[in-house]
Structure 1
Amino acid sequence: MFVKNLAVVFSLTLVTFCNSSFIEDLPKCHLEDFDCLKDVYQTMIRKMGKEGLKEFNIPPLDPMKLTNVNVNVHNLVNVTMVDGIVKGIRDCVFDAFSIDIKEGRGHQENTCDLVIKGHYTAEASSDLIAALLGGSSIHGDGHAKVTVGQVHVKFDFPFYAQKRDDGEIYIKCNYDLVKYDYDIGGPFVIKADNLYLGDKESSKLITDMINQNWRILMTGFGQPFITKAIEEFYFKWSGNFFDKVAARHFIIEDLSPYARP
């Protein structure tokens, strides 16, 4: 029992040491060295994506779990990922990253190839469905896999240097005011089972229609899905890191002149 407990203590100590070492070993950048800052973010995503950062209670990023994530598309289609995952975020490429601490503005561009899969439910009823597929409604409860290639997202985000009671300065973003735009280069491929058109099992018919017309459908209906991805990834995970890791670990300059509560 003593040996077993000792092994547990050793393992926890090793995890803490490795996580602390990761934070201490982050590249440190000047505020105007945008290539360096971009590399810090890229390093953070790739090294932490698999294991998270346990000492800061930051969960792994890739795969990202989705539980009961619901998207309603313009009151036409209601899709819920009951239990699924998103893979590929760890390998997103950071095309651009810049900040202006005096103006409190930042800009970021990412390109990702994503795979979303798991247990889904779906309900839809509209004239569009009738026109495209010859049926009045769609419903499904099964398993789906969606491959989305070359998702390019541009962010403009407000932020400031925040001094806290622990004496440290953190980068604090206002996520309610983030502005973004995106495009999807493709490919976009969906596979699903147990998908019905009216009372008839029509998984292949429906998914073939989506795959053949994905550019048109994503132009009209894609925004809610991209918004949900931004909420789940950028706001929650990325914000979690900056809320918990002091700026001195990755920025060389003293941010005290810019800091506020």
Structure 2
Amino acid sequence: MTLEPIEGEGTCVISLSNVQYSFTIPFEIIEENGKNFVELKEYQYSYDVRDNAKFTLKNLYNGNKELSDSMLSRMNQNWRYLTVNFGRIFMDAVADRVYTTFRNYMLATPLKDFNTC
């Protein structure tokens, strides 16, 4: 069997089922205009794709259906390995967005307002 380089140009869709994120976020309480706010400093995260991942790559191997189907079948059978070893490329953007949204909310909401929830 000859190994062909993986190539092609087209779209890629990765569907993940039941992704769990865990964040560790150090913080400080700051005072501004007589009100206390939570200021998040940084974050570390981990993730776990718990149920499944499905990879769809259009025009893999430049349309060679036999090679494409074979590679996609291997990728989808080995979804756990791929998401563990290469998933951070995709998960970093989601983690950044979650952290930024949470950080902005915490800086905009004084601590006393949390007591009324």
Q: TM-score, normalised by structure 2?
A: 0.76
Q: Residues 192, 168 of structure 1: CA spacing in aligned structure 2 closer, same or farther, 3 A cutoff?
A: same
Counterpart amino acid of residue 150 in structure 1:
N
Residue aligning to 2:18: 150
Which residue matches 1:228? Answer: 93
Contiguous gaps of at least 5 residues in structure 2: none
| Greater RCO, 1 or 2 (C-alpha within 8 Å, sep 6+) | 2
Counterpart for residue 4 of structure 2: 135
Q: Does 1:240 align with 2:108?
A: no
Q: Structure 1: where are the runs of 5+ without partners?
A: 1-130, 253-261
Q: What TM-score does the superposition give when structure 1 sets the normalisation length?
A: 0.38
Instruction: Name the counterpart of 1:217.
Output: 82
Match of 2:34 in 1: 167
Aligned sequence identity (%): 18
What amino acid does structure 1 have at the position aligned with 2:107? D
More strand per residue: 1
Distance verdict in 2 for CA 1:134–1:171, change over 3 Å: same
Aligned length: 114
Q: How big is the shift at 1:201?
A: 4.3
Give the counterpart letter for 2:38 in structure 1: I
Shift of the alpha carbon at 1:191? Answer: 2.6
The whole-number CA distance in structure 2 between the counterparts of 1:247 and 1:182 is 29
Deviation at 1:153, TM superposition (A): 2.0
Aligned alpha-carbon RMSD (Å): 2.5
Runs of 4+ in structure 1 off by over 6 angstroms are none
**Paired amino acid for 2:29:** A
Q: Distance in 2 between matches of 1:223 and 1:141?
A: 22
Q: 2:23, 2:46 within 8 Å by CA — same for their partners in 1?
A: yes
